[in-house]
Amino acid sequence: MDIHIVQPGDTMYRLAQQYGVPMERLIQDNQLPDPSHLVVGQTIVVQYPELTHTVRAGDSLYSIAQMHNTTVAQLLRNNPGLQGRDLVYPGQHIVVKYSSRPRGPLTVNAYAYPYVGRGLLQATLPYLSQLTPFTYRFDGDDLIPLQDEVLASAALQSRVAPIFHLSNLDSQDRFSPEQAHELLSDEEDQEELIQEILRTIDRKGYRGVDVDFEFVRGEDAEDYARFLTRLRRALAPRGLPLIAALAPKASAGQPGRLYEGIDYHLIAKAVDFALLMAYDWGNPASPPMAVAPLPQVRQVVEYALTEFRPGQIYLGVPNYGYDWTLPHREGSRAKSLSNVEAVQLAWDRRTAIRYDDQVQAPWFRYVDGQGAEHEVWFEDARSIQAKLNLAFDYRLHGIGVWNLDRPFPQGWAVVNAMADIRSEM
């Protein structure tokens, strides 16, 4: 795999000639909305087919996979134009294998809201080991239902492990330290909630649990770890793992409401895996900056490794960016946008995309129709490659993508090129 940075005068035809790859393959692999709209500084993922299959009458992805000793999921990953469906026709060229070799095995988890687009879900499932519908909430000892049947069923049909997600989000969509405190201080409520979680898991076919309590009070840190221990003990007879999604700490005593109740040392003993939510340094309320600057992400990983084994850790990876209005003012809010939308915005505003080598993230500035200046930070193929290299360098278990509700074909192409995606089924 190569990552091409678009230069002035580049066209897809010229890139196809330069890299010796059919133009149609470049367009399909990058799922470009309009191949004629290339932005200076934009990334193009270049993959080199090593083995292809020409579809004959009667072929299916299953028969092609059997013929070439591979899997349907791998064929779908290698051919994103199929959009996750077995829609082959005679004369079609299917990539069986690319020349690039993965750096190693990786578990790929992604979160999704129940209302994720069905077409987008279908197209993305082949790249996943696990799918985590977001989110089950609770009121006391009662589990609040989630319309997750479509997601859990689609995951199971694609041999992707659905993961049950529990959070302390309240009815206002805010992480509630009060709600967490009430549960963590009542062992009877915890036991009843755990039993309801187990019944839901059994009924819907979940293959693990992810707990994401945020803004836990410092005084509740030990009780939170005890709750996780109880839940893990309850899951053990079913052979199901427990994951804890953790605020991105860089030290044990890191101050701040987000961090004080999250004790990595205690939690490491209580769970099977930890998912480091290593993103949102750049966020709606912050000044303009990278969402997940690599030096800060590295600090979080290195601290986590003082308490967790590498094989216990998922690295959280963001699938979004932000658009800030300049000058940044206290109380102003940046607009969230997808990585694909960011590139389209750069095209619309006729501005080049730059790349910050220190934080490993793309960004640009533009002026809107009212004359206001904006700054945008997002993710591209280079920044995803940097994060995956970090996960491989530290031999982490996997990555956890927040979230797959917005398309990012290049990101998944990089995952496919770099990782031997584990099956957790």
Catalytic residue positions, numbered:
214
Q: Is 172 exposed, middle or buried (0-12, 13-18, 19+ CB in 10 A)?
A: exposed
Q: What is the 3-state secondary structure (H, E, C) of 81-124?
A: HHCCCCCCCCCCEEEEEECCCCCEEEEEEEEECCCCCHHHHHHH
Phi and psi, residue 16, nearest 5°: -60, -40
| Helix-strand-coil split of the chain, %, nearest 5 | 35, 25, 40
Place of tokens 């079609």: 92
Helices (H), 276-408: 294-304, 339-348, 381-393
For the record, the structure tokens of 60 come out as 């299916």
Residues 379 and 381: their CA atoms lie apart, in Å, by: 7
Phi and psi, residue 398, nearest 5°: -175, -170
Residues 298 and 362: their CA atoms lie apart, in Å, by: 18
Q: CB 382: neighbour CB atoms within 10 A?
A: 18
Instruction: Count CA atoms closer than 13 A to 368's CA, side-chain side.
Output: 10
Element (H, E) at 154: helix 149-157
